[in-house]
Structure 1
Amino acid sequence: MGIAILGAGVMGSTLLSALVRAGHDPHGITVSDKVAERAREVADEHGVQAGEPGEAARAADVLVLAVKPQDMGGLLDEVAAEVHPGALVISIAAGISTGYLESRLPDGVSVVRAMPNTPALVDQGMSVLARGRHCGVEHAASAESLLSTVGAVATLDERHLDAVTALSGSGPAYIFYVVEAMIEAGVLLGLPRVSATELTVQTLFGAASMIRETGQHPTVLREQVSSPGGASVTALRHLDDHKVRAAFVTAIEAAARRSGELSAGG
């Protein structure tokens, strides 16, 4: 199976690296980028081929469109005529609908829209797939297999992708924001920054692992930490006083609205 990665930025190169680690034949993978030197650097690093977008598309059974949304139109103009009807096209560009892609590609091409997130860099990503009109079960399974090399994969109707973008696509930014605040609080309380960072990161990792492994609702786990009159419940009271929970909900709603605005433009 020939695979073309069109776009050698963070997500494109991350997926490429994962495919090679997962055992895909490097000689069957071609990477391209609008900056040819970047494509050659990534190709040399992973032992794959570098090529022009049209050339890569012509030989590929699976094409991963990993360019910025504003570059998608130009890329499709360049490669559409080279995509054969039995190919699978996976777009990881935020806000680009399957309908838009299908309108620019040959009739019958299978299209999947994917929303990964940056923890894919450490093979702990969350990717959500939405199938286009012509995507059958076999191609959908191929897309899931490919994205599973960088983490967990779920499939939803495309109408949910704005919410997915706001929750998991942008989600790492919210977590990093909270981690920054916790580290700064530790430093303010007199901890060395390296210690505050270690304590915060391990606490985050442990709490996430508890949610996954126990299967208990976060409310139950939170109450287990919050002894009456204790430090945790006092801190939570201050967070509630500052409407932190409501701020997170409204921020994620705003991110979903912005995703919809971006989608409407593509």
Structure 2
Amino acid sequence: MKNRPTITFIGAGSMAESLISGMTKTLYVPEQIIVTNRCDRTRLEYMNKTYGVRSETDKRKAVKEADIIILAMKPKDVAEAMGAVASAIHGHQLIISLLAGVTTDTIVSLVGKNVAVIRAMPNTSAAIGQSATAISQGRFATAAHVAIAKKLFETVGIVAIVPEQDLHAVTGLSGSGPAYVYYLVEAMEKAAEEIGLDRSVAKPLILQTIIGAAHMLQSTSKHPSILRKEVTSPGGTTEAGIQVLEQYRFQEAVAACIKRATERSEELGKALLSSAAMQS
């Protein structure tokens, strides 16, 4: 693969945009990146004007030019999308799939060739270089392909290499994880308003509290439960707040949330396999 590979995104939604935003701030230049999608020309024009990347309405042309093809469409659209471009894909290309629940073997089957596929699950924090991404190796991908994918995703955050069967769990945990944190911040902002704090005062306090807690977890080997207990004085304000969280089974709710997101990833994969079997 050449030193400055051409990267084609099929799909121009929020995840594609997050990755492109992060990638073009670090290792890659906009001219290396082509973006195409199903039919939304307005979205392609936006990506071109915002990030300087090349936009292309001819999906086959975009795929033919690519060294790396990144699948960023909705999982339900993958069969149609791959059917439109499969004949333009050749054996020297690397396909990186961002599709929740869709296995590397499914991608290979849709392409109809023994093509290298890496499956990845980043999150939208890629836009600011803070993604937590897990990647898995398809059966026709080599260690060199894994290294290429790892280098790409390291431009937008940290990378873990995991067995493909673990990616459903990764999707439920860190793939969807930013939304859980944003939901928590929504609740904290609402509570701040109800107790009389102005938004302009509350918001920076909330954000720095979350940032500081995360940095504490990164900088110490102490278990989160120990750090929590160190903040929680008997009979104090924190204990009173924690007791309410326990009353509402906060930890159980978070665990159930992650498990349900994981199950949904599995369901998406099974639905796609069932649909593909019916079409064949």
The two structures have a TM-score, normalised by structure 1, of 0.95
Q: Deviations over 1:144-173 (max 9, x none)?
A: 111122211111111111111111111112
* TM alignment of 1:61-210, pairs within 5 A: 61-210=67-216
Q: How has the CA–CA distance of structure 1 residues 154 and 181 changed in structure 2, closer, same or farther, with 3 Å as cutoff?
A: same
Alpha-carbon RMSD: 1.5
Q: How has the CA–CA distance of structure 1 residues 199 and 216 changed in structure 2, closer, same or farther, with 3 Å as cutoff?
A: same
Paired AA for residue 175 in structure 1: V
Corresponding residue for residue 48 of structure 2: 43
| 1:21 aligned counterpart, secondary structure | coil
Residue 27 of structure 1 pairs with residue 31 of structure 2: yes
Residue 256 of structure 1 pairs with residue 249 of structure 2: no
What is the rounded CA distance, in whole Å, between the counterparts of 1:164 and 1:200 in structure 2?
Answer: 26
Corresponding residue for residue 245 of structure 2: 239
- How much has 1:250 moved relative to structure 2? 1.8
Q: Could you tell me the percent identity over the aligned residues?
A: 38
What is the rounded CA distance, in whole Å, between the counterparts of 2:26 and 2:47 in structure 1?
Answer: 17
Paired AA for residue 18 in structure 2: T
| 2:133 aligned counterpart, secondary structure | strand
Paired AA for residue 139 in structure 1: H
What is the rounded CA distance, in whole Å, between the counterparts of 1:47 and 1:241 in structure 2?
Answer: 51
- How much has 1:106 moved relative to structure 2? 4.3
- How much has 1:108 moved relative to structure 2? 2.5
What is the rounded CA distance, in whole Å, between the counterparts of 1:62 and 1:255 in structure 2?
Answer: 29
Residue 230 of structure 1 pairs with residue 230 of structure 2: no
Long gaps (5+) in structure 2: 273-280
Contact 1:85 1:106 in 2 (8 A): no
Contact 2:20 2:127 in 1 (8 A): no
What is the rounded CA distance, in whole Å, between the counterparts of 2:190 and 2:28 in structure 1?
Answer: 43
Corresponding residue for residue 2 of structure 1: 6
What is the rounded CA distance, in whole Å, between the counterparts of 1:108 and 1:167 in structure 2?
Answer: 31
| 2:99 aligned counterpart, secondary structure | coil
Paired AA for residue 200 in structure 2: V
The two structures have a TM-score, normalised by structure 2, of 0.90
